[in-house]
Structure 1
Amino acid sequence: MHRTTLAFLLVPALLLTSCSGGTTTGLFDRRTPRERYLASLQAAGLGDTALVRDWIAAGETALLQPQDGRLPLNSEIRQGRAEPRAWGYRLPLQRGRRLRVELTVAGSEPAIVFVELFNAADLLKPIAASSREEVRLEQEIYRDGTYILRIQPELLRGDALRIVQRTTASLTFPVSGRTSSAVKSFFLDPRDNKRRDHHGIDIFAPRNTAVVAAAGGLVTQVGTSTLGGNVVWIWDAGRQQSHYYAHLHTQAVAPGDLVDAGAVVGYVGNSGNARTTLPHLHFGIYSRGEGPIDPLPFVRE
């Protein structure tokens, strides 16, 4: 039987599985939308058809032989109706970045496109997957490494796809009205004639510019120290990190306060050992079990 004829005969069953989502998944079903879709094809008796086998093989090839991806990416990809395809992109990603993938499907017919992100060291289970309702994926990166992004439309959907991939900051920039261009001193820069390293970034802004919480959390300490001057510590439980705001002119929170991302926690100054410099915020991130880590990937646009 020719492939196109087989595809024509499979249309009613495929439409049924696409619309129904297959068998009942239950409240605690941890399968991805793609895994549930494949299970519905198999439950409908289509798992051994050449078209479905080709679709599975295309998905595996996309993971094992991905193309190098460069971010940001804005490109168009196409699939023929009787030509199962999948696309894989190898992405080097930094901890603290947020990967955003958005797809636009051409044509008037509704279509499902499965978007999944894998750690290249473990291709058995994606760390993130798009839902059936949205052709988009958003995931914060928690570890430096190489990741594989797989994009695969459901069967018998032949249209152009516009794909936009980019990374953004995962935290709110901690100085109001400023961007990463205001960072003038960086993580691990030498200090005190190379006797110590700089454990943060310095963001320069006029005195009394608002300093805002980079993430929501619990204010654990508000005080004064020789190096940091007027300081605020905020615990980000979700990321298991302490965020450190130093050289403040004044503080605007108290220990025990719960703050949202973007809430004012103090104002830019040059207290502590920064009294001979221009006003700036020293912003540091201390990860539980690790110590200081580079804040810049977390806040860079």
Structure 2
Amino acid sequence: MSLRQLLILVLLSAIMASCSKRGPLAIFQKLSPHDAYAQKLKDAGLSNSALGAAWLKQAGQTIANPLNINIPYKETGYFPDERASGTALRFDARRGQKLRISITKKPISNFNIYLDLFSENLPAAPKLAASADTTGAVMEFEVKESGKYILRLQPELLRSGEYTLTITTGPSLSFPVSASGKPHIGSFWGDGRDEGGRKHEGVDIFAPKHTPAIAAANGTVTSVTANKLGGNVVFMHPDNEDYTLYYAHLDVQIAKPGQTVSIGDTLGLVGNTGNARTTPPHLHFGIYTNGGAIDPLPFVNREVKEPAAISASLKNLSDTVRIAARTAKLYNIPSEKGLAVSTFTQNTAMTVEAATDSWYKVSLPDGQHGYISSRSVTATDNIRSLTLKADQPLYNTPDRASAASKKVLAAGEKVNLLATYRNYLLVKSNGDTGWIAE
């Protein structure tokens, strides 16, 4: 049995033994799958080990240093088992959207990844919004507050594998006009009204007259009335929500006050009553909270965009690569429209953590990370041979102040140059790869 296999056996045995115990967190509150695993590490006494401490530290460092993305988003990455690893992604989400977060993985079994979704809560720490692990189903989350969200992925200790993450958004409500009328949205939130005197507080959904206007959620009809602007209107309150739906310009009202309705029940028929008398038939659909009207489009937008297919080669996942071009830029998002945070010269070494679209998510030896065009890098094959002029320690990282020396290379020895980083050279000698000072 190898040392690594022995470590895995000891770790798993310790965690299994801890399952019969309940740590202080588990006693007083329900834990997320990630925190439950962390508690098992602590209960097993592994938080004081180098391996367990590194995993717990990685959890905090990852969430504190997320990379920026735009959704929809898709990436394929690899988590190695020789070190504690994880990744975090920050993105914008709007109230009313439903996030759908899914992961496929290889291998399917014995490779569990914890997913934790946080709302950014500056200047305070991020607030946990939802959590899951990959033994369960797809994570779905209804966005209750517009803002920035952070998704953290972290695998269990001593587990390695490939994963594909997909994040998409869809509406949290059903569409409020029957598909029989082939409805389409023709006017949006914020459009000018009354020659610029006011702003549109909803969306207008055009459909033939008498097309059913239907319940977009399960709930209760709170009011059936008429007013000057909206004409014949219906208000309904969705179950377990803090807002009210507003249906206006109906030709006929069918729902009754106090009626309990289900998704798809007819509330009225599309018309052009009220101030819509001179327009084609349509439903004015609005959403009202205690703070006033909010944009209903994210709640009902049927346009679900799919992320771009991954065209970057997956053969470089978890490998060290080098810059092939004369220079290449590292971006804060996988797009040339993003901010170029660094520029690197030819042969600079970096590790590929994941691929998305035509980009690689990479980390540098100093811990810096970001996105680089996959076309800018190549594998660390032999650049040329070097003959050492003096004895050289072979370091595991390009930083002699903190690096460990793997061995000493003798003067006169020939090595293969693979890549560079600052004043260090990545070389290979008799099967050993490491860093030497220039």
Same fold (TM over 0.5): yes
Distance 1:256 1:135, change over 3 A: closer
Q: What is the TM-score of this pair, normalised by structure 1?
A: 0.90
Q: 1:60-94: CA deviations, max 9, x gaps?
A: 22211111122111221101122221110011111
Q: How big is the shift at 1:24?
A: 4.5
Matched-pair contact (CA < 8 Å) for 1:204–1:280: yes
The structure whose Rg is larger is 2
Partner of 1:192: 194
Equivalent pairs, count = 297
Q: How big is the shift at 1:237?
A: 4.7
Distance 1:31 1:108, change over 3 A: closer
Q: 1:224-258: CA deviations, max 9, x gaps?
A: 22211111100125221111001112122100111
Distance 1:119 1:181 in 2: 34
Q: 1:180-214: CA deviations, max 9, x gaps?
A: 98111111222112222211110111112121112
Larger strand fraction of residues: 2
Larger relative contact order (C-alpha < 8 A, sep ≥ 6)? 1
Distance 2:34 2:260 in 1: 39
Distance 2:279 2:268 in 1: 18
Distance 1:265 1:20, change over 3 A: farther
Partner of 2:102: 102
Q: How big is the shift at 1:112?
A: 2.2
| Among 248, 251, 255, the residue aligned to 1:249 | 251
| Among 164, 167, 179, the residue aligned to 1:165 | 167
Matched-pair contact (CA < 8 Å) for 2:209–2:269: yes
Q: How big is the shift at 1:104?
A: 1.0
Partner of 2:294: 293
Q: Which runs of no fewer than 5 residues in structure 1 stay unpaired? A: none
Bigger CA drift: 189-198 or 12-21?
Answer: 12-21
| Among 275, 278, 281, the residue aligned to 2:280 | 278
Distance 1:16 1:206, change over 3 A: farther
Q: How big is the shift at 1:274?
A: 0.8
Matched-pair contact (CA < 8 Å) for 1:115–1:136: no
Matched-pair contact (CA < 8 Å) for 1:113–1:135: no
Distance 1:178 1:20 in 2: 58
Partner of 1:48: 48
Partner of 1:9: 7
Q: How big is the shift at 1:114?
A: 0.8
Distance 1:267 1:20, change over 3 A: farther
Matched-pair contact (CA < 8 Å) for 2:183–2:207: no
Distance 1:69 1:50 in 2: 32
Q: How big is the shift at 1:163?
A: 0.7
Distance 1:49 1:135, change over 3 A: farther
Distance 1:47 1:180, change over 3 A: farther
Q: How big is the shift at 1:136?
A: 3.1
Q: How big is the shift at 1:150?
A: 0.3
Aligned residues: CA RMSD: 2.5
Distance 1:28 1:261, change over 3 A: farther
Partner of 2:270: 268
Q: Secondary structure at the match of 2:55?
A: helix
1:1-301 mapped onto 2 (5 Å cutoff) = 5=3, 8-14=6-12, 17=15, 21=19, 23-24=21-22, 29-121=29-121, 122-123=124-125, 125-131=127-133, 133-134=135-136, 136-177=138-179, 182-288=184-290, 290-301=291-302
User: Aligned partner of 1:273: which letter?
Assistant: N
Matched-pair contact (CA < 8 Å) for 2:68–2:91: yes
Distance 1:59 1:179 in 2: 50
Q: How big is the shift at 1:57?
A: 2.2
Q: 1:17-50: CA deviations, max 9, x gaps?
A: 3698563487973221111111111111211111
Distance 1:19 1:273, change over 3 A: farther
Q: Which runs of no fewer than 5 residues in structure 2 stay unpaired? A: 303-438
User: Aligned partner of 1:203: which letter?
Assistant: I
Distance 2:182 2:301 in 1: 5
Distance 2:241 2:296 in 1: 13
Bigger CA drift: 50-59 or 239-248?
Answer: 50-59
Distance 2:17 2:163 in 1: 20
Q: How big is the shift at 1:176?
A: 1.7
Distance 2:37 2:182 in 1: 42
Distance 1:116 1:52, change over 3 A: same
Matched-pair contact (CA < 8 Å) for 1:187–1:294: yes
Q: Secondary structure at the match of 2:11?
A: helix
User: Aligned partner of 1:8: which letter?
Assistant: L
Q: How big is the shift at 1:13?
A: 3.2
Q: Secondary structure at the match of 1:109?
A: coil
Q: Secondary structure at the match of 2:48?
A: coil
Matched-pair contact (CA < 8 Å) for 1:103–1:135: no
Matched-pair contact (CA < 8 Å) for 1:170–1:298: yes
User: Aligned partner of 2:191: which letter?
Assistant: D
